[in-house]
């Protein structure tokens, strides 16, 4: 009987080991496929933006060249007409007119160079609008949505905008692949954190199990506060945080709950981290000219 049981256990362990190996292989294969798909999508997006920029720049440059040719032809006609009219006039007066026309040509060339710079900047801003718009759509989705591709595209553009580059540098790849909590998810999580913090509101910094039990029991006797109430106690901080969340003011809500200390602060740490991750992405959108849903202009 014992030998039979031992044999069954060995066979079961072998089966479990084989299934675990097969599962690991499947996970590895799936991960590789996802990496390949992300790389392909990133390449396609980059190629699309490059083609769009090339077409836009070519179109603007063609228009500038056309206008320059027209203006140059007009100036040449004026010059020839003036030359015929002034051919018998004093040499000094004629040379002065030629100098004036030469200066006009220099001004035209300067305008052409300035317009080329403006065209390049507009093309960059248009690409930034597209990328920031895609990132905002991911951030405003009804559920947590990864934005690794959008962040990668934003990083490629950020070196043209120093302030944006410094903000984007703070966003981690881990957060981008995982996404950030939606406002509704943060509100739901806060409801859970609020109860945990209330139960631990009277636990001293070095409190043990007994302190936790006493604090949990005492918390049931405390009347919870509501609204933007004054005070530095745990209940006041929780009430203000909940009030600010109801007003969609995540920034100040995170600042409020960050005032907690001791065990309440420890229990709220994960929620504060999640809120800050969302705020960091929002900050990148604001710096990129998309903070209020508007479009950056040329």
Is 267 inside a domain boundary? yes
Burial class (CB in 10 A: 0-12, 13-18, 19+), 216: middle
Residue-range definition of the domain harbouring residue 240: 183-281
pLDDT tens digit at each of 298 positions of the chain = 545 456 677 788 888 888 888 888 888 888 888 888 888 888 888 888 888 888 878 887 888 888 888 888 888 888 788 777 766 666 666 666 777 777 877 887 777 677 767 886 787 778 888 888 888 888 888 888 888 888 888 888 888 888 888 888 888 888 888 988 899 999 999 988 888 888 766 554 555 444 444 444 444 545 567 788 888 888 888 889 999 999 999 999 999 999 988 878 888 899 999 999 999 888 888 876 654 444 454 5
Domain count, the chain: 2
Residue ending a domain, among 130, 156, 178, is: 178
Residues 129 and 159 in one domain: yes
Residues 62 and 188 in one domain: no
Residues 46 and 171 in one domain: yes
Is 197 inside a domain boundary? yes
pLDDT, position 31: 85
Residues 45 and 172 in one domain: yes
pLDDT, position 243: 93
Residues 93 and 212 in one domain: no
Is 287 inside a domain boundary? no
């Amino acid at each position: 009987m014992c030998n039979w049981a031992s044999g069954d256990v060995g066979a079961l362990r072998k089966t479990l080991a084989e299934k675990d190996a097969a599962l690991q292989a499947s996970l590895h294969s799936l991960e590789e496929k996802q990496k390949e798909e992300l790389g392909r999508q990133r390449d396609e997006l980059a190629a699309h933006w490059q083609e769009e920029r090339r077409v836009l720049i070519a179109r603007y440059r063609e228009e500038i060249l056309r206008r320059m040719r027209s203006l140059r032809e007009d100036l040449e006609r004026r010059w020839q007409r003036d030359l015929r009219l002034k051919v018998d006039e004093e040499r000094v007066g004629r040379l002065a007119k030629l100098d004036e026309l030469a200066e006009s040509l220099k001004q035209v060339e300067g305008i052409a160079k300035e317009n080329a710079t403006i065209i390049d900047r507009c093309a960059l801003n248009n690409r930034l609008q597209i990328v920031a718009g895609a990132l905002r759509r991911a951030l405003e989705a009804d559920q947590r949505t990864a934005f690794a591709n959008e962040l990668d595209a934003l990083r490629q553009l950020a070196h043209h905008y120093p302030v944006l580059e410094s903000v984007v540098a703070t966003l981690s790849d881990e957060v981008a692949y995982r996404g950030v909590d939606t406002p509704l998810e943060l509100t739901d999580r806060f409801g859970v954190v609020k109860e945990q913090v209330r139960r631990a509101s009277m636990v001293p910094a070095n409190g043990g199990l007994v302190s936790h039990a006493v604090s949990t029991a005492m918390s049931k006797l405390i009347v919870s506060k509501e609204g933007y109430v004054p005070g530095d106690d745990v209940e006041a901080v929780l009430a203000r945080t909940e009030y600010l969340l109801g007003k969609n003011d995540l920034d100040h809500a995170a600042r409020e709950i960050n005032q907690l200390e001791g065990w309440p602060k420890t229990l709220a740490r994960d929620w504060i981290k999640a809120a800050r991750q969302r705020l960091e992405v929002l900050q990148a959108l604001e710096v990129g000219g998309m903070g209020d849903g508007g479009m950056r202009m040329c």
